[in-house]
Structure 1
Amino acid sequence: MELKINNGLLEVRLESFGAELVGLRDLENDREYMWQKDPKFWAKCSPILFPFVGALKDNRYLYEGKEYNITTRHGFARDNEFKINSQTENSIEFLFESNEGTKKVYPFDFKLYLKYILEGKKLRLEYRVENLGDKKMYFSLGAHPAFATPLTSGIEYSDYYIEFEKEESGEVNILNGLYVNSQVKEKAFDGKKIVLNRDIFSKDALIIENPNSSEIMLKNDKNNYKVKFTYEGFKYIAFWNVPGAEYVCLEPWCGITDYDNCTGNIEDKKGIETLEVGEKFIRNIDIEIL
């Protein structure tokens, strides 16, 4: 089911399946900022990543001596229908909670909320995870929004760039197939700017661990395209697209795909988050059109 919120400045379109952001239109200049799901390249737009980010080695993990199997990347929340928990003129909150199906592959009782709040030309995404069980919960959480990089007359993909709030080392984790290479990192850029080009994601995502910045800008100086993207409290920020497609994903993660030398034990998983009984985990992302 598609839902909309509109404050006269921005129109936001949301799908209840996966609680997915599928449209963010600036009404002043009639510009759509979100990738519009071309299955030729990628049939998603902004999936939620839960309870894992990326791939599990051999599609499995171990918890309390038992093996569990999840064959999909990025967990399972994105492939489920969310309930509408609350709705106002400028906000919608979605809810997905554990059930018999999830317990077969993920033995924790939880509630996962994703709330969208429209304030002027800023859209806030509020993520909340609650541990409803009687034991410590292990999980990861991530966002994966794809921003359109429209190739209008005189504009090239390489005219777009990502600008960090602070200087970064330029070192990124690289993948060994589906998994993080445990042996090496790669120098991908210098300073505060990543200039996009058609080959930059030929080896898959660029993953920055413990970034200095909690704010980035996606820009194109030729057509005054500016998106301010704020992500506090996330352990990683990743960037990705399918080469040839007209978008770039900005991906804050609390968690990461398995390393190629991982043990498979969920307690040992790199980047894993934990919640004690009754605790809540909250993270926010702001997308502002400038």
Structure 2
Amino acid sequence: MDVLRTIKYNILKGYLFIFVQQKERNMSSYQVKNDVLSVSVDTSGAGLTSIKDKTGLEYLWQGNPDYWSGQAPILFPICGSLRNEKAKIGDNKFCSMGRHGIARRCEFTLRHLDIDSISLFLRADAETMKSFPYDFELEMTYRIKDKTVIVEHTVTNHDSEVMPYFVGGHPAFHCPLNDGEAFEDYIIEFEKPETAGCPVLTEDGLVNTSNRKTFLENESSFGVKHELFYDDALIFDTLASRSASLMHKETGKGIRVDFEDFDYLGIWSSANDGPFVAIEPWSGTSTCSDEDDIFEHKRGVRMLAPGQSETLAYTISVL
């Protein structure tokens, strides 16, 4: 085989851990589980790679490059894009990074592994400081409780200056879930009726605040259609709801994402009719058309004092 796999099985409290080390990719994959769900996470980017129920049904998108090779990247220290991929930050410093930041392309280190939880962390180094000039630590923790995956982002500022940042999730889910179903058989349902408009995104992924389209008028759900995503993601910035479900309109089978700690929600699929939908809790958005290029002026920016940490979490529940 081209990829060398070393598999270690450890029996602990009646469950099975599977650790797969893929040396060719310099990446390790870990699985945690309970009697309802099994969840896999990679050290490369620290994102989810699988969410299966006890029947073996896979909920998480598996990254077909014909549509989108990603699955559930971690967004840090930005959500979305910076204008021209750069901004002034701090005291006469600059940051430069592509869409959704740098964490998704970094190798994380395992900190904790148990039957039903795992934590991995990323500490700033000389390479990350070329893009984001702060001594940060980002720890990703995944816990399983019954039918729910709890996703925690803990950011620590090890620097001597106040650190501005954003963080978010980008989990994508199979749509449809089962053979014989269609993309259009699914709906997005919010917990409350919403009257909401979505700002239109520019070709380079920025938010055009002067161009908004009314999307919901006192409605709690809408049907999923491929054409909704031909102009990129739907960005909801005025929701009263703090949960959104992707589910079959007749059976109710699907997932729910609860995002109490996040002010923004992106819903996205690929423009070439990808068979998946991403539900994305964000603490902020791309640079807006009415904003300058100073990082601290962006909507939703979080400011973390030296030596301090904070955790933002969302959950994914199987329905």
Amino acid at match of 2:270: V
CA distance in 1, matches of 2:252, 2:209: 40
Shift in Å at residue 182 of structure 1?
2.6
RMSD across aligned positions (CA): 1.4
Partner-residue secondary structure (3-state), 2:267: strand
Counterpart in 2 of 1:99?
125
Q: Name the count of aligned residue pairs.
A: 288
Larger Rg: 2
Correspondence 1:148-187 to 2 at 5 A: 148-150=174-176, 152-177=178-203, 178-187=205-214
Matched, 1:267 2:296: yes
Matched, 1:140 2:178: no
Of 113, 119, 140 in structure 1, the residue corresponding to residue 139 of structure 2 is 113
Consecutive unaligned residues in structure 1, runs of 5 or more: none
Counterpart in 1 of 2:283?
254
Whether the aligned pair in 2 keeps the contact of 1:237 and 1:252 (CA below 8 Å) is yes
Partner-residue secondary structure (3-state), 1:264: coil
Of 64, 79, 84 in structure 2, the residue corresponding to residue 58 of structure 1 is 84
Whether the aligned pair in 1 keeps the contact of 2:94 and 2:133 (CA below 8 Å) is no
Mean Cα displacement is larger for which, 144-153 or 231-240?
A: 144-153
CA distance in 2, matches of 1:272, 1:289: 31
Relative to structure 1, is the Cα distance of residues 94 and 255 closer, same or farther in structure 2, using a 3 angstrom cutoff? same
CA distance in 2, matches of 1:143, 1:224: 24
Relative to structure 1, is the Cα distance of residues 166 and 224 closer, same or farther in structure 2, using a 3 angstrom cutoff? closer
Provide TM-score, normalisation by structure 2: 0.87
CA distance in 2, matches of 1:38, 1:96: 26
Shift in Å at residue 5 of structure 1?
0.8
CA distance in 1, matches of 2:196, 2:165: 28
Counterpart in 2 of 1:68?
95
Shift in Å at residue 184 of structure 1?
2.0
Counterpart in 1 of 2:10?
none
Shift in Å at residue 154 of structure 1?
4.2
CA distance in 2, matches of 1:42, 1:153: 20
Partner-residue secondary structure (3-state), 1:174: strand
CA distance in 1, matches of 2:187, 2:170: 18
How much identity, in percent, do the aligned residues show? 29
Consecutive unaligned residues in structure 2, runs of 5 or more: 1-27
Partner-residue secondary structure (3-state), 1:53: coil
Provide TM-score, normalisation by structure 1: 0.95
Relative to structure 1, is the Cα distance of residues 86 and 169 closer, same or farther in structure 2, using a 3 angstrom cutoff? same
C-alpha distance after superposition, 1:114-171 (max 9, x if no partner)? 1000111111111110111111111010100001112645421111111101121121
Mean Cα displacement is larger for which, 134-143 or 188-197?
A: 188-197
Counterpart in 1 of 2:57?
31
Counterpart in 2 of 1:199?
227
Partner-residue secondary structure (3-state), 1:3: strand
CA distance in 2, matches of 1:155, 1:165: 25
Counterpart in 2 of 1:20?
47
Which one has more relative contact order, counting CA pairs under 8 Å at least 6 apart?
Answer: 1
Correspondence 1:236-247 to 2 at 5 A: 236-243=264-271, 244-247=273-276
Counterpart in 2 of 1:288?
317
Mean Cα displacement is larger for which, 48-57 or 221-230?
A: 221-230
Amino acid at match of 1:25: K
Mean Cα displacement is larger for which, 253-262 or 196-205?
A: 253-262
